[in-house]
Amino acid sequence: MELQISTTSMVPIYEQIANQIRKQIANGSLASGELLPSVRTCAKNHHISALTVKKAYDLLESEGFVQSVHGKGTYVSSISPNLVEEEMQKQLENAFDLAFTKAKTMNYTRDQILELVNTLLEDYDA
Amino acid sequence: MKALFILDWQWLKSMKFYLLIILGLSLLYCFVHPTLAVVFMPVMLAITMTKSVSDNLQRSTGAYLFTLPFTRKQYVFEKYIISIVPALLTSFIFAYALGVVNSFSKMGIPCLIACISAILIASLLIPLTIKFKDNGILVFRLLSIAIVVMIIVIAESFTSPDVLNSALFMSHSPWIFLMIGVALIVIIFISMFISNRLIQRREF
Amino acid sequence: MLNIQNLKKEYPGFSLSIDQFHLEPNSITGIVGLNGAGKSTLFKAICGLIQINSGTIELFGQTFDELSKEQKENLGVLFNHATFSRYLNIAHCKKVLKAAYSHFDEALFDQLCKQLNLPYDKPLSSFSTGMEVRFKLATALTHEAKLLILDEPTAGLDIIARNKTYECLQDFMEKPDRSILISSHIASDLENLCDDFWVIHNGQFILHETVDALKNQYGILSVDAKTLDTLDPVAIVGIDRQPHGIKVLVSDRQFYEENYPGIVVSAGNIDDLLTILEQGER
């Protein structure tokens, strides 16, 4: 399992790991029932704390993407790639929801929100 | 504890040059002054082995050594064994070899003196070395050699060693040896007890 | 695994005072602090090499002196100033280790020495600092110890050698119920290896955190005096005022990112944390 981790990014490392694993499950590089590397092996390969890896694995387990078996390791759940897409979409919707709630507390109108979104999207495309 | 023996064996090998000199001198004495030869090597061995204690207790080795899986008691015990047993064996070997050449009766007393000296020296120097490391121990070592040499000279100044030998062996024969043996064992035990107390308090 | 309560050790001019410390199984814990903060003294106390004035130190539930030979075999130690006598070579040391430890893993030892480029027939006195520390690591890792106590295990090592060391240590941790206690002041030791760390300063622990929290929640704010006054102190851990700017260590950088937009924030890291805690106010 390959991971690309940025230690300088402000995105917490456990989130980076979880994101990449979710993506790999979604595009099939990680198959159902496949055994993920042990927490220690992952920590060793990427020079990070084992607790960080464990946090990522725990998060994925709470979302249903993986299952950990005591004494054996962590396995990818028998989850179809579609379900993964669905789950990730749900998370994206939640993120938007949070942003809209905040905008509301700042009394943004609909148009103002759209204008903001367009401005940000320009940077995004670039 | 086997590990300690291996370490001391290697330590001894690192003192090769020094040991060869002592051996050389002993062999010289064999021809020149046999009774001194019987005493010299064992006593020097006892003194030398106690130096291994001060080397062990150096800051650069002691801290690691005492985290190895043996107790400090075992360490002390092993030191007494290597300081006394080789010395005793050496004195028997020399006494026997020279006895064959000269005469056994002449070697009796020197052999006895060698054994007693080795035990006393070990019992004295080991606790001292533990307490004081190397400071001033050199003085004690030289003192020990001087005292032993003096005893030999005194013993020899008795007109006829043969007479003295047979007198000693005949008259109170077993009892004197028994008493001496018991006294030595008691001395060893007291010394070991003191050494154990001292080494428990040793800091690195 | 290791439990310390109310430890006190007095030296003229310095005293070590630890209220409580515990090391759990399956964790790599770092003790970090400046030189002279008391790391080595603490390790010596744990290993029974110095007498303590008061308090208890328990390894596997017992004091060091009470440890049986079998329990002592569960301990692997690396001190940066002490090792085998220097006239010995690795072949000799291997014989000693084999005789001393009933679970000595000869094959692993040979493999590690090969991996770390250590010659068997040269005396230890001819080793460079880096070689010596790698050798000490090999001796600590190869007798199935449950607890490793390593005092500055990467001293004198370049980055490649350090990474190799971390890999060896993580490999060691693959077996369950093992722990490692490391003392260091090198950032990568803590950030790339440890699970959690304790900061020691003048003989006392002043902070205990996980490395994960340090990197993902802690932050360093760079502010001027005016902004400093406006900051909510709820998550401020330390402030270091320097003529060229003020650095603030916070335990929740997201809070400040959200409530003080535009503020300069960087992720928490050991070097800055230590500097702020040492030089600044807490």
Strand partners, C245: C242
From C169, which residue of chain A is nearest by alpha-carbon distance? A44
Which has more pLDDT, B58 or C95?
C95
CATH number of C2-213: 3.40.50.300
Token duo for residue C64: 């060091």
DSSP C125: G
CB contact under 8 Å between B69 and C44, yes or no, is no
3-state secondary structure of C1: coil
Chain C residues at the A interface, defined by Cβ less than 8 Å, are: 28, 163, 166-167, 170-171, 173-174, 188, 191-196, 210-212, 215-216, 265, 267
d(CA C215, nearest CA chain A) in Å:
8
A102 touches C at CB < 8 Å: no
Q: Comparing C-alpha atoms, which of C212, C211, C223 is closest to residue C265? A: C223
Q: Which chains touch B (3 or more CB pairs under 8 A)?
A: C
From C69, which residue of chain B is nearest by alpha-carbon distance? B69
Check residue B159 and give its pLDDT.
44
CB nearest B3 (choices: C75, C81, C100): C100
- Structural domain for B7, as ranges: 2-200
Whole-angstrom distance, CA of residue A123 vs CA of residue C198: 42
Domain range annotation of chain C: 2-213, 217-279
CB nearest C51 (choices: B64, B68, B203): B203
Token duo for residue C206: 């002043």
Neighbours of A70 (CB within 10 A): 5
Number of domains into which chain B is organized: 1
Whole-angstrom distance, CA of residue B47 vs CA of residue B140: 10
Whole-angstrom distance, CA of residue A44 vs CA of residue B36: 67
CB contact under 8 Å between C215 and A51, yes or no, is no
Please give the mean pLDDT across all residues of chain B: 81
Query: How far, rounded to the nearest angstrom, does the alpha carbon of residue A66 sit from its chain's CA centroid?
Result: 13
* Cβ atoms A48, C250 nearer than 8 A: no
Q: Per-residue pLDDT for chain A (126 aa), expressed as one digit of tens each?
A: 788 888 777 788 899 999 899 888 887 788 888 889 999 999 989 888 889 999 999 999 988 888 888 878 888 887 666 777 777 788 788 888 888 888 888 888 888 888 888 888 887 765
CB contact under 8 Å between C215 and A7, yes or no, is yes
From C216, which residue of chain A is nearest by alpha-carbon distance? A12
Bridge pairing between strands C245-250 and C219-223 = antiparallel
User: pLDDT tens across C223-233, in order?
Assistant: 888 888 888 88
Whole-prediction pTM: 0.82
Question: What does the buried/exposed string (b/e) look like for C121-132 if buried means 16 or more CB atoms within 10 Å of the residue's CB?
Answer: eebbeebeebbb
d(CA A55, nearest CA chain C) in Å:
9
Q: Comparing C-alpha atoms, which of C180, C152, C150, C192 is closest to residue C33? A: C152
Q: Report ipTM for this prediction.
A: 0.83
> Is the predicted pLDDT of residue C78 greater than 50, yes or no?
yes
Domain range annotation of chain A: 13-76, 81-125
A14 touches C at CB < 8 Å: yes
User: pLDDT tens across C226-267, in order?
Assistant: 888 888 888 888 888 888 888 899 988 888 888 888 888 888
> Is the predicted pLDDT of residue C278 greater than 80, yes or no?
yes
* Cβ atoms B57, B201 nearer than 8 A: no
Q: Which CATH class is domain A13-76?
A: mainly alpha
Q: Comparing C-alpha atoms, which of C61, C72, C49 is closest to residue C5? A: C61
Question: What does the buried/exposed string (b/e) look like for C171-180 if buried means 16 or more CB atoms within 10 Å of the residue's CB?
Answer: ebbeeeebbb
Q: What is the largest CA-CA distance in chain A?
A: 55
Whole-angstrom distance, CA of residue C279 vs CA of residue C241: 9
Whole-angstrom distance, CA of residue B39 vs CA of residue B29: 10
Residue range C104-119: average pLDDT? 90
Q: Which chains touch C (3 or more CB pairs under 8 A)?
A: A, B
Chain C hits for B10, CB-CB cut-off 8 Å, are: 85, 87-88, 92, 96
CB contact under 8 Å between C85 and B61, yes or no, is yes
CB contact under 8 Å between B64 and C82, yes or no, is yes
For tokens 């043969």, name the residue: B162
> Is the predicted pLDDT of residue B163 greater than 60, yes or no?
no
Side-chain half-sphere exposure of C37, counting CA atoms within 13 A: 20
CA distances from C153 to B97, C50, C137, C150, C277 (A): 55, 21, 7, 6, 24
Whole-angstrom distance, CA of residue A53 vs CA of residue A49: 7
Neighbours of B138 (CB within 10 A): 11
Residue range B105-110: average pLDDT? 73
Chain C residues at the B interface, defined by Cβ less than 8 Å, are: 44, 47-51, 65, 69-70, 72-73, 75, 77, 79, 81-88, 92, 95-97, 99-101
CB nearest C166 (choices: A8, A44, A55): A44
DSSP A8: S
